[in-house]
Amino acid sequence: MKNKIFFLLLSVGLLVSTGCSKKFLENTKDYTQYGEPQVFSNETLAGQYIAQIYQEFFGAYNNPLQQVVGLYNTNRSNMTEELGGTIINYTNPTITLQTVTDADGYYGVSTSGSANNPYTRIRYCNNIIEKMDEPITDNLSASFRASAKGQMYFLRAWQYFDLVRVYGGVPIVTTVQNNSTTDPSIQVPRAKSSECFAQIVKDLDSAAALLPMSWASASTDYGRLTAAGALAMKSRVLLTAASPLFNTDWDNPGDPKWQAALQASLDAETKLTAAGYGLYGSSAKDWASMTTQGNSKFNKEALIVFQFSNTITSSIGFGNSWENSLRPKDYGGNGNGISATKEMLDLFPMANGSRPTVANGYVDTFFFANRDPRFYRTFEFSGEKWSIKGNANKTTWFYRWKPSATGKVSYYGNNQTNSPAIVRKMSDPNADSTGFAFSNTNIFEYRYAELILNIAECYAATGDINDAVTYLGKIRARVGIPSTNNYGIGTPATKYEALNDCLYERQVELAYEGKRFWDVQRWMLYDNTPKSGNSVQKLGLTPLNGTHRNGYYWQAKNYTSTDPLTDSIRNSILIDPDASTTNFNAQIAALENVYRNNFVMTPLDQAWDQVSGTPVDILFRPNYYLSGLNSSVLSIDPWITQTEGWLDYSGGAGTFDYQQ
């Protein structure tokens, strides 16, 4: 009897043939004409089946700010200081989410159909894992079967990890089950969060044992999951498990969860280094260019990498949407770029690594002066060189003018930004303006730098401040921050200060890579809820609740109906972060002078964060850290309990404690 799940997957239609966005999948052909015996006895067809499962997991992932496997939207990125202007339900102070109809619907529903939801994807993984040990696959080589199982263990672990990050503990299912509403053997209750983490780690260990550290044929397999990625993911998973969201004992330096996370992270560092992985390059210029070094080419910093096609033929592949979203209209982009919030512009260190305070010489009027080298590769501001194909010295400007207090506003280049700077990180200096929508720039979902930051955080949490600072220094040394005073970090007096430094460095190094929300969530930084163990207060941070994202304009000092700058003035400014220090400083000084003579900082016409036209502050309620289960789940699976802080299907209080 043929396996039902196999045909459910085929019935979806081969997504790869109608627009795969992952480079190594693009040569996959439609195999729906074959039955299970043919597919699982032929490595080419079985490989295409595995490629389809990748597509189910990652087909919608074409922007680094998108998050959650299979879902991939920017909602969570919109709940941090990185992005302004969009109030998600979870941060909307005018509503309260608590009922089953309010809960996140990511979990999906129990169904015999082929909807691409988490447990369907888990079922696909379970099916391949089981099949590779059955006689039907005897014609496949041992190495093929091992790598197939390894990839499925990794995918299953990743899916469970995202389920846990959304809901806490969930039912653990590791075998293919037949759908039934009456079979009690498949009525699996929610496992504890700790049990889910244990299963995730077990799967990642299995993946690491079965997969290569890197694929022998980069031209055909680069982008597939590897043992290196599994080891790194184990570090991320255990770091999350040790953090306040899931660990009531996080404040104990001897806590076994921190020790486990540290050991896994150091083990990953040792094995990855031996396999040729590490921090890419030795300068800020290298740091900026790492994602544009070419497809199907091993990059030592890329632990989990997604590649894209630059073709405009949708039947072959889809491109990375990031470039198109970054480039403003006068570059040929699809909008005004991603305006940088003032919070982000004021965040990055000074050039010597110190925090940007008045005492350290920071003046927000001249936010572009004397900053961390990464600042100039993360943001684009007026007069800064940002090249494209055919124009290596192209720049743009972000300012506006108007003829009177109530007159019509004009924007240079029609760039109607809410900030004097926009995001440029991970853009391609050789991008073709006629094809931004089909950029093939890689997305590094997991960089080696994140692993180094994980190690630093674990050391800080266990009270080893010196080693924490040493690892933070590795991140800063790579981009050229001077080593004086521990690369500007100084010497933290307590583990709390060291943890603060770790989270700060993650904000800077991993900005706009889709990581910030998870750090805010696992450290419970929206408020001082008792379940966090007062993490915000202890780390000396300001809660995100009660704050809002700010922007402002560079506006002409005087009312004018014409552009306040001449072509000659604009052409005299070309700020090149790769210029010599002397020349670069002179360029920055020239821009300061242009600002003094022509512009003032002007508040936005309307609050950036608003609901129905009314300005609001972020309010993320304590029960939102982990969602309750939706009515579509609890109505069908009554044996599954609801999360604390949420109401169950009958309106009673949820009882599931996600910190167990």
Instruction: Indicate the average pLDDT of the chain.
Output: 92
Whether the pLDDT of residue 355 is over 80: the answer is yes
Q: What is the pLDDT of residues 10-55, one digit of tens each?
A: 333 222 222 233 444 444 444 456 788 899 999 999 999 999 999 9
The answer to whether the CB of 414 falls within 8 A of the CB of 399 is no
The answer to whether the CB of 255 falls within 8 A of the CB of 247 is yes
What the block records as the tokens of 340 is: 């940088």
% residues pLDDT > 90 (the chain): 86
- The predicted structure's pLDDT at residue 110: 57
Whether the pLDDT of residue 329 is over 70: the answer is yes
What the block records as the tokens of 582 is: 């002397």
Confidence of residue 5 (pLDDT cuts 50, 70, 90): very low
Whether the pLDDT of residue 2 is over 60: the answer is no
- The predicted structure's pLDDT at residue 18: 23
Rounded to 5°, the CA angle 5-129-3 comes to 25
Rounded Cα distance, 128 and 142, in Å? 14
- pTM comes to 0.95
- The predicted structure's pLDDT at residue 26: 44
Domain boundaries, the chain: 212-320+440-484+492-501, 322-439+552-603
- The predicted structure's pLDDT at residue 528: 87
Element (H, E) at 304: strand 302-306
Confidence of residue 506 (pLDDT cuts 50, 70, 90): very high
Whether the pLDDT of residue 435 is over 70: the answer is yes
- The predicted structure's pLDDT at residue 20: 31
Q: What one-letter code names the amino acid at 480?
A: G
CATH topology of domain 212-320+440-484+492-501: 1.25.40
- The predicted structure's pLDDT at residue 223: 93
Q: What are phi and psi of 206, to 5 degrees?
A: -65, -40
Q: Residue 308 CA to chain centroid, in angstroms?
A: 17
Tell me the mean pLDDT in the region 93-119.
Answer: 88
C-alpha count within 13 angstroms, C-beta hemisphere, residue 101: 2
Whether the pLDDT of residue 3 is over 60: the answer is no
Where in 382-513 does DSSP place strands (E)? 400-401, 410-411, 421-423, 443-447
Rounded Cα distance, 243 and 461, in Å? 9
What the block records as the tokens of 185 is: 């053997």
Tell me the mean pLDDT in the region 535-561.
Answer: 98
Rounded to 5°, the CA angle 611-83-564 comes to 95
Where in 277-356 does DSSP place strands (E)? 302-306
- List CB contacts of 53: < 8 A, sequence separation 6 or more: 9, 121, 124, 125, 128, 152, 155
What the block records as the tokens of 575 is: 């700020």
- The predicted structure's pLDDT at residue 103: 97
The answer to whether the CB of 262 falls within 8 A of the CB of 455 is yes
Confidence of residue 182 (pLDDT cuts 50, 70, 90): confident
- The predicted structure's pLDDT at residue 134: 96
CA 456, 461, 462, 465 torsion-angle sign: positive
In a 3-state reduction of DSSP, which class is residue 600?
strand
- The predicted structure's pLDDT at residue 111: 55
Q: Which residues pair with 553 in a beta bridge?
A: 602
- The predicted structure's pLDDT at residue 151: 98
Q: Which residues pair with 350 in a beta bridge?
A: 371
What the block records as the tokens of 48 is: 């295409």
Q: What is the pLDDT of residues 206-257, one digit of tens each?
A: 999 999 999 998 888 999 999 999 999 999 999 999 999 999 999 999 999 9
Whether the pLDDT of residue 503 is over 60: the answer is yes
Rounded Cα distance, 304 and 228, in Å? 8
Whether the pLDDT of residue 146 is over 70: the answer is yes
Rounded Cα distance, 25 and 15, in Å? 10
Q: What is the pLDDT of residues 622-656, one digit of tens each?
A: 999 999 999 999 998 899 999 999 999 999 999 99
Burial 461-491 (b: 16+ CB within 10 A, else e): bbebbebbbebbbbbbebbbbeeeebbbbee
Q: What is the pLDDT of residues 273-315, one digit of tens each?
A: 999 999 999 999 999 999 998 778 899 999 999 988 877 655 4
